[in-house]
Structure formats: C-alpha cells, structure tokens
Amino acid sequence: MSNANPEVTPPSQNSGSVSTGRSAQDPRMSSGRLLVTQHNVYNQQGSRGPIFNGPVSGGVNNLQVSSIDALQFLFQYAATGAMHDSDERFPPPLCPPGTREAVIYRILDWYGYQKRPGKPILWVHAPAGYGKTAIAGTVAAKLEEQSEKLGFSLVGATFFFWRTSPERNSPARFIITLAYQLAMSIPELTPHIETAIKQNPMILRKALEAQLKKLIIEPFKAIEDMEDMPNRLIIIDGLDECINSDQESRVEKKYAEDQEFVQVRVLDLIRALASHQLPLSFLIFSRPEAWIKQQINSKTFQDVVETLDMYVVGDHISDAEMFVRTEFSRIGLGDEDMVESLVERSRGHILYASTAIRHIDCPYDDPQKRLHNILEVSSRFNPDVAHSTPFSSLYEIYRQILRSCPEGNRSLMIEVLEDLLAVWNTPLYWAGDIHLMLAILDRLSGRTSGAGIRAIRGLHGVLHIPSPEDVQSGSKRKQSSEIFIHSSFPEFLRSPALSLDPELTTYKWKGDGRILWGCLNSLSSIELHTKVDEDHVQYALLRWVTRWMYRTQCVGADELFPLLQKLLAIDLKACFVHAFTLPDVALRLYDMDTFLPFDITAPGARNAIIVDIEAHRFEFSSLIRRVGLYVAASLEAAFLHLLQPNHFDSSPWNDSFANTLFHFLEYRWAEYENSKSNSIVQALKTLRRDSNSRDLFETLMDAVKSHEEDDE
C-alpha cells in the first residue's frame, strides 16, 4: 500500500504480507541500538521472557524497552526454566544419598576439566523412571561443589527438556539458553557473545544452526589461547521430551508428530558443536528411543560419542534398598520383612520405590496399613498379564493406589482423571495453576465446586496436589506446573488394557466429551452485551474450537447430530466478539495467538468442522455444510462488528484480533473476484478514509505488520 493511495490491498499470496506504507528501515533499530516494541515481544506460558519463534506464542507483552544490554537481551529470550538451578525446577530432583553412585562416578570419570575425554559426547540412556533427571542434577551439583574450590565453573550450561513446558519442549530457545549460560560461566567468552548480538540482534530469530555459529562457535574461536582453557561440561537432559519443532504452529497438535525430527536435529546441533574442537564436553540423557539410538550409532557420531546404559551399570537393588530404608526410618516404619518385600517388588526401580513411599506417607491414613495393602498380592488379577511388561511392578502399584480410593468415590475419581487426561499437554495444563485448572474442569463437567480436588486427594503418590491448607486458604503459592509426577502414570491411564479392572479404566474421549459439552453449554447464554468474567466461560470462548476438534475426531453419529444442532443454537457472532475483546491476560493463560475456527477460512473448506468427514458423508452432509457456513458467517460478522469505530473505545481488540483478521483475509482472498466484494476490506477502507478513525486503522495495520514479520 503506497502512501499516495489509501486503499487496502489484498494480502500477497506468496508472502502473506500486508503493506503498511512504512519506511523500509526497521523501526526497532535506532543509531545502532536495539529497540523492542510492544508488537514484537511475545511471552510463552511459564516463561520469564519473550520469544519470537516457538511452538507456543502467547499474547503481546506491553513491555517497552528503549535500549538494553546485549546479555540482558539474550537473557530475555533464554528458557530460564530449563537451567538446572532454576526456580521453576526447585527443588530439583536429585539422587538419594548413596544411590546411583556407579553411574555418577562413571560419568565423572569420563569428564575431565583438565584433559578432555577421548570422545566429547556421552549419551546416558535408560527407560522411564530410572532416575536419569536425578542423576543429571546430581552430577551438576557435584561439579558445582568442585567449582567453588577451583575458582571457576565446571558446568558450562544445562538444558532440561520437559514435554509439558512450552519453553522446554522445543529447541526454539535451546541455543540461546546455552549461549547465555556459557557467557555467564566463561568470562573470556562474554565480550564476544555481546559483540555478536550487537552486530546482529536479529540473530535471535534466525535458524538454530545460524544461532549456533554466531552465538557459540565464532565467539569461542575469537578467544586467544583457547587451547589453554579448562574443559566445561554441557548437560542436556530429557532429549526425548523435546517434542515440538521451533517453528510457530497455528494449529494445536494433538501430539507432536515431528518429535523424531527435532530430537535428531538437536543431536546434529550438538555434533556440529563438538566437531569444532572447543573446550566443551556434552552429557546427554534420554530414553533409548529407536531414532535417537539410530542417529547415535550412525557413522557421523561413532567417533565422538560414548554410550552408557544405566540399566546395566550399578547395583539397582542396593540403590532401591538404601532409599527404602532411609524413607522407612523417616516415616517410622521399621519392619525388616516389609523393607525386603518392597525392595524385591521394586526390582531396583527407584520410581516404583519412590511412588510407593509417597503413597504410604499419607496424612489421611495409617502408613502401616497402606504399606500392607501394597505388598498384599491379590489373586483376582492374572499374573501372566500383570507381569508381561518391563513396568509391570510399577503398573501394579498404580493399580493399588487407585484401588485405595474409597469405592463410593471411585467413579468420581476416574471422571476427574479422564478430564485431566483430556487437558494434558494443552495450554490449560501448561498454565501451571492446578487450582484454576480443577476449578474450570469442575464447572465444565458439571461438578460442584471443589469436587475435583477432593476426588483425587488420595492420589498424592502419583499427582502433585495442593495441600489441604492451600485449598482451604485459596493460596496460589508456587506449585509444580506438572500435575502428573511422572509421565508413566498418564501413559498407564491412557491404556485401558493395563488397568486390569473395569472400575479403574479411564477413557480420555469421555473427558473430551464432557469438556466440549461444558464449553458449548457455557456459550449458550452469551449475547453481545453479556458480561464475561468467569474463568470457565473465558476458557470456553477461547478453546471450544480445540475441544471440538479433539472430540469429533472419533465421534459417533448419535453424538454428532446433537453437537451440530447445539452449535447452530449458539450466538457465535457474540462469542467471537467476546473472544476478540477478552483481556490479553486471558489470551496468555490459554495460549491464544490466532483464533481461526477449524479451516473454515480456507477456500472451499465448508466441511472442515468435522475431521473425518467421510465417516458421516451420507448421514449429515447437508447439516455439516450448514454449520460450516454458519461458523464462517459468524466470524465475518464479528469482524465487521469490531471494525466499527464506535466499538473500539468500549470494547478494544485484544492481541489475537489483528492476527486472526490477517489470516482470515489471506486464506479467503481467492474466493473474492475483487476487493469490492469483500465487506471486511470495505470496512478497513472506511477506517482509513475517516480522519477520526485513521489512528485506529494504523494501530490495526501495525499489529498486522508485526504478525506478518513473525510469519517470515
């Protein structure tokens, strides 16, 4: 759009850009100093700093900074929660004293700060629950103790991936976080990293490979006498927890289908870094996933990687026994036979032993009785089935914990667990506020207030549950952002074949259905002038589309018909208007950047509200098309309503509005013969021509421009 012609032009089909008539000079650069504007800084959930490109993009942060120190700028983009000593991970998992010593000292023997190891990468692998993260943290702690005596840091950097943390389940901040820590731990490196950022601040938005070169490799090579520097260790834990790509996704994934690619990519980045003969060694922990093992065993890695299988190193039985004895002494249990029985059942599996201890150490019950129930062998279960997997003992203790719930409360407990499975790995889960999550689920699923927390009160052995004092006082002090203590428990719940008991079987699709119907019921009473301030209603406004997609992937005809009819009875225009005018804090909480209902904005995609349209082609084809047209028309009507100048002061747009509008026009443009047939474009032209609304138009275009830049 040129300044001479105040017309709104169609978005480019090639670049998806909207011209705003601004100077080609980047407004964020002034006299060589970096300016961060409010339209270019994003926060991820659970993050302390902004990020431009990442798997999750939250609302726009209103923070404005005129100029900042280069390292402070780097810190803002680092995944601070991924560092071994971060507040997010406090208290960090560590090995109980005297346990896992064989593995720990094998690692310390490999690493040498004075003489670099023969192979700079050590891959330590083991199945879930063998204490890999605790060992990684313990190694870091031991090296930090030694660093105090030496006067310099042995740990160069750490990154603990975590699949349910948006800033830690992708490589988006991986290189930036390592670079920041290296700058802090190696003083000789600091000025060279600062120079790299000052010369090109946009390096933080470049590809990971480019970041690696400019932020780590080149700064190291700029150091004189690098060969005389002590060797530093970089610890990377949970590589298999890296499940999302570093590219921003506009469609929420059920599960990251690209996890194999990104995990191999991280390995390749480490391999590239190790190839430059820098004073760095790399300690990597992960499960022995097939694609990770294949890459480690490839020719390009053979000369630089040593492998350590935790399963075959050390005396796991002795480790488990030492842990159990210590915990029994703390709780006040001293029966030798019970110690031996629990150790025998654990088979050296620390996760089993620690889960059992948490269950036994219950403030609501007798620990001795709980221990007896765990050790009691029930004859009603088939031993061939119960012991058919490597985790059979762990799964059996999960069954025992679920059975410990009173029978009269068991169905409600299962219902709440189904709801938790339905929101697992979604923005509501990532928010880290367990009180809020359970309160919203209670309202959506039709339970009385507080029923959810009471139903799972006895599951503290497998769930992070707020204390009774916190619940009573309404305290929201720092809690774990992960309600499941270990990922093996939701995996157990998601597999009905493992429960071996119909009363203990959970079905995620039931939770999906309850939450979707709760969202639709919440939307049913909404009109344009309805006050929307309840958490569950705000959640319904922003996430009903995602809940719809989850449930209708495998919905039967008996449920699909009433769902379609229900959607037609809702004032979707009013719902969209409210969704675009909710406070930005709600967008950040529920991870809303672009609000595109299904793929209805794509040309010809009128049946996209049902994922598997073939399954219902002949039953509801006309109804599905009708609903699709209704949703699309409602969205367009909401845009037109909000583009009226008189609505902006009373109901200002939130940060998702401009981005959604931009993509709506981009995807739908091919359906219009010319811009005159597009009522939204005409509304934008009116805003531009009206002198009283020109500032409003420029505000919208600035926001569109910022989202356009994020897509490049």
**Tell me: the pLDDT tens digits for 535-572?**
999 999 988 988 888 888 777 778 888 999 999 999 99
* DSSP strands (E only) in 317-398: none
- pLDDT given for residue 180 in this prediction: 97
State yes or no: pLDDT of 21 exceeds 50.
no
Average pLDDT over residues 426-452: 83
Helices marked H in 361-487: 367-375, 383-386, 392-403, 407-423, 427-430, 434-444, 451-455, 468-473
| Partners of residue 34 on adjacent β-strands | 29
State yes or no: pLDDT of 19 exceeds 80.
no
Task: Give which of 428, 446, 361, 374 is closest to 404, Cα–Cα.
Answer: 374
User: Can you tell me the distance from the alpha carbon of 539 to that of 438, in angstroms, rounded to the nearest whole number?
Assistant: 13
**Tell me: the pLDDT tens digits for 632-662?**
889 889 988 988 877 665 567 776 777 777 7
Q: Can you read off the two tokens belonging to residue 512?
A: 């999906």
Torsion angle of the four alpha carbons 247, 250, 255, 260, in this order, in degrees rounded to the nearest 10: -20
Phi-psi region of 659 (alpha: psi -120 to 50; beta: other; left: phi over 0): alpha
Helix axes of 572-581 and 617-642: crossing angle, nearest 10 degrees: 50
- pLDDT band with cut points at 50, 70 and 90 for residue 398: confident
User: Can you tell me the distance from the alpha carbon of 157 to that of 177, in angstroms, rounded to the nearest whole number?
Assistant: 8
Contact 82, 92 (CB under 8 A): no
- pLDDT given for residue 77 in this prediction: 92
Task: Give which of 368, 374, 337, 373 is closest to 353, Cα–Cα.
Answer: 374
Q: Is 656 helix (H, G, I), strand (E, B) or coil?
A: helix
Task: Give which of 522, 526, 559 is closest to 442, Cα–Cα.
Answer: 522
At 278, which amino acid appears?
L
User: Can you tell me the distance from the alpha carbon of 189 to that of 173, in angstroms, rounded to the nearest whole number?
Assistant: 19
| Partners of residue 42 on adjacent β-strands | 60
Task: Give which of 56, 38, 53 is closest to 655, Cα–Cα.
Answer: 38
**Total residue length of the chain:** 712
Average pLDDT over residues 199-216: 94
3-state secondary structure 55-81: CCCCCECCCCECCCCHHHHHHHHCCHH
The continuous run of DSSP H or E covering 282 comes out as strand 280-286
- pLDDT band with cut points at 50, 70 and 90 for residue 29: very low
State yes or no: pLDDT of 14 exceeds 80.
no
Task: Give which of 140, 141, 178 is closest to 157, Cα–Cα.
Answer: 178
Q: Can you read off the two tokens belonging to residue 35?
A: 């300016």
State yes or no: pLDDT of 57 exceeds 60.
no
Most confident stretch, 30-44, 127-141, 244-258: 127-141
Helix axes of 407-423 and 434-444: crossing angle, nearest 10 degrees: 110
**Tell me: the pLDDT tens digits for 483-518?**
787 777 887 898 877 877 888 899 999 999 999 999
Decide which of 360 and 24 is more confident: 360
Task: Give which of 137, 166, 53, 249 is closest to 432, Cα–Cα.
Answer: 166
- pLDDT band with cut points at 50, 70 and 90 for residue 37: very low
- pLDDT given for residue 349 in this prediction: 78
Task: Give which of 192, 245, 187, 184 is closest to 215, Cα–Cα.
Answer: 192
Give the chain's domains with CATH numbers.
Answer: 81-247+257-311 (3.40.50.300), 407-506 (no CATH), 513-711 (no CATH)
Handedness of CA 179, 183, 188, 191 (dihedral sign): positive
Q: Can you read off the two tokens belonging to residue 240?
A: 């298999």
Task: Give which of 246, 153, 201 is closest to 28, Cα–Cα.
Answer: 201
User: Can you tell me the distance from the alpha carbon of 515 to that of 510, in angstroms, rounded to the nearest whole number?
Assistant: 9
Task: Give which of 636, 573, 560, 575 is closest to 600, Cα–Cα.
Answer: 636
State yes or no: pLDDT of 52 exceeds 50.
no
Q: b or e along 327-356 (b: 16 or more beta carbons within 10 Å of the residue's beta carbon)?
A: bbeeeebeeeebbebbbebbbbbbbbbbbb
| Partners of residue 86 on adjacent β-strands | none
At 146, which amino acid appears?
Q
**Tell me: the pLDDT tens digits for 305-347?**
999 998 788 778 888 888 999 999 889 887 888 888 888 877 7
- pLDDT given for residue 122 in this prediction: 98
Is-cis flag, bond preceding 427, omega within 30? Answer: no
Q: Taking the complete model, does pTM exceed 0.95, yes or no?
A: no
User: Can you tell me the distance from the alpha carbon of 129 to that of 146, in angstroms, rounded to the nearest whole number?
Assistant: 28
State yes or no: pLDDT of 471 exceeds 50.
no
State yes or no: pLDDT of 671 exceeds 70.
no
Identify the residue whose tokens are 């529920």: 590
State yes or no: pLDDT of 44 exceeds 50.
no
**Tell me: the pLDDT tens digits for 272-305?**
999 999 999 999 999 888 889 999 999 999 999 9
Decide which of 621 and 417 is more confident: 417
- pLDDT given for residue 16 in this prediction: 33
User: Can you tell me the distance from the alpha carbon of 87 to that of 79, in angstroms, rounded to the nearest whole number?
Assistant: 12
- pLDDT given for residue 238 in this prediction: 95
CA angle 132, 138, 140 (to 5 degrees): 105
Decide which of 589 and 575 is more confident: 575
Q: Can you read off the two tokens belonging to residue 294?
A: 């294949």
Identify the residue whose tokens are 């029985």: 341
Contact 572, 626 (CB under 8 A): no
Residue 42 is given by DSSP the state B
CA angle 460, 465, 468 (to 5 degrees): 100
- pLDDT given for residue 543 in this prediction: 87
User: Can you tell me the distance from the alpha carbon of 664 to that of 412, in angstroms, rounded to the nearest whole number?
Assistant: 42
State yes or no: pLDDT of 614 exceeds 80.
no
3-state DSSP helix/strand/coil % of the chain, to nearest 5: 55, 5, 40
User: Can you tell me the distance from the alpha carbon of 262 to that of 270, in angstroms, rounded to the nearest whole number?
Assistant: 12
